[in-house]
Amino acid sequence: MLSRVKKNYHRLLTAYCLRPFMLGLAIAVIGAAASVILAGIGSIVGTSRAGQAGAGIITEEPEKFGKVLLLQALPATQGIYGFIGAFWVIFKLNLLSGTAPEIPWATGLTIFFACMPVAVGGLISALYQGKVSVASLNIVTKKPDEAGKGIILAAMVETYAILGLLASILLINGINVG
């Protein structure tokens, strides 16, 4: 009885889960998903912090809405970069063709790690860009004519998210998937 259960279990695993090309594909897709998820989390937190701080300013001075909106929107771009990184993987693996490519697990792992610069870089830079945006909202409140300086300060953090996206794109392009 036990040997029959083991035999059926092994057959199910090899038939549906543990095919080497499916494992590699799964790891690669998890990397692409991590790009969207981690960069998206950073953007969510960063834009919400800036939005919460900006809401107080807008209630007192509604004419500053444009400047506040720009500072709130800056951390949202990292989520877009994560999305671009994920689509780069989707196009590299030709997943939109409707057929699952056969890639070894080592290639899947390589793609996973190639996604990490945009995923982790997007997460961290969006969190800190949100903090800089909140601090820059003080400039909008106290010296509205100097708001451009606050926008530049917040945009400087963006540089590292762009570098993470560029690194991921270059790494993904350098991977031979067969």
Please report, rounded to a whole number, the percentage of residues in the chain having pLDDT higher than 70.
88
Q: What is the pLDDT of residue 101?
A: 84
Q: Is residue 31 part of a domain?
A: yes
Number of folded domains that form the chain: 1
- Residues 67-114: pLDDT tens digits? 999 999 999 999 999 999 999 999 999 999 888 788 999 999 999 999
Q: Is residue 46 part of a domain?
A: yes
> Where residue 178 falls among pLDDT bands split at 50, 70, 90?
confident
Q: In this structure, are residues 45 and 127 in contact, taking their beta carbons and an 8 Å threshold?
A: yes
What does DSSP assign to residue 99? S
Name which of 17, 1, 2 is nearest 105 in CA terms: 17
Q: Is residue 72 part of a domain?
A: yes
- Residues 28-74: pLDDT tens digits? 999 999 999 999 999 999 999 999 999 999 999 999 999 999 999 99
Q: Is residue 160 part of a domain?
A: yes
Q: What is the pLDDT of residue 5?
A: 58
Phi, psi of 82 (to 5 degrees): -60, -40
Q: Is residue 2 part of a domain?
A: no
Handedness of CA 50, 153, 77, 84 (dihedral sign): negative
Name which of 129, 136, 116 is nearest 158 in CA terms: 129
Q: Is residue 144 part of a domain?
A: yes
> How many whole angstroms separate alpha carbon 102 and alpha carbon 149?
51
Q: What is the pLDDT of residue 13?
A: 55
What does DSSP assign to residue 16? I
Q: Please indicate whether residue 173 or residue 102 has the higher confidence score (pLDDT).
A: 173
Q: Please indicate whether residue 8 or residue 110 has the higher confidence score (pLDDT).
A: 110
Domain residues for the domain of 77 are 19-173
Q: In this structure, are residues 8 and 91 in contact, taking their beta carbons and an 8 Å threshold?
A: no
Q: Is residue 9 part of a domain?
A: no
> How many whole angstroms separate alpha carbon 142 and alpha carbon 11?
69
CATH of the domain at 31: 1.20.120.610
Answer left, alpha or beta for residue 38, where phi above 0 means left and psi between -120 and 50 means alpha: alpha
Q: What is the pLDDT of residue 83?
A: 98
- Residues 134-169: pLDDT tens digits? 999 999 999 989 989 999 999 999 999 999 999 999
Q: Is residue 123 part of a domain?
A: yes
Phi, psi of 104 (to 5 degrees): -70, 160
> How many whole angstroms separate alpha carbon 165 and alpha carbon 82?
7
> How many whole angstroms separate alpha carbon 132 and alpha carbon 38?
19
Q: What is the mean pLDDT of the chain?
A: 90
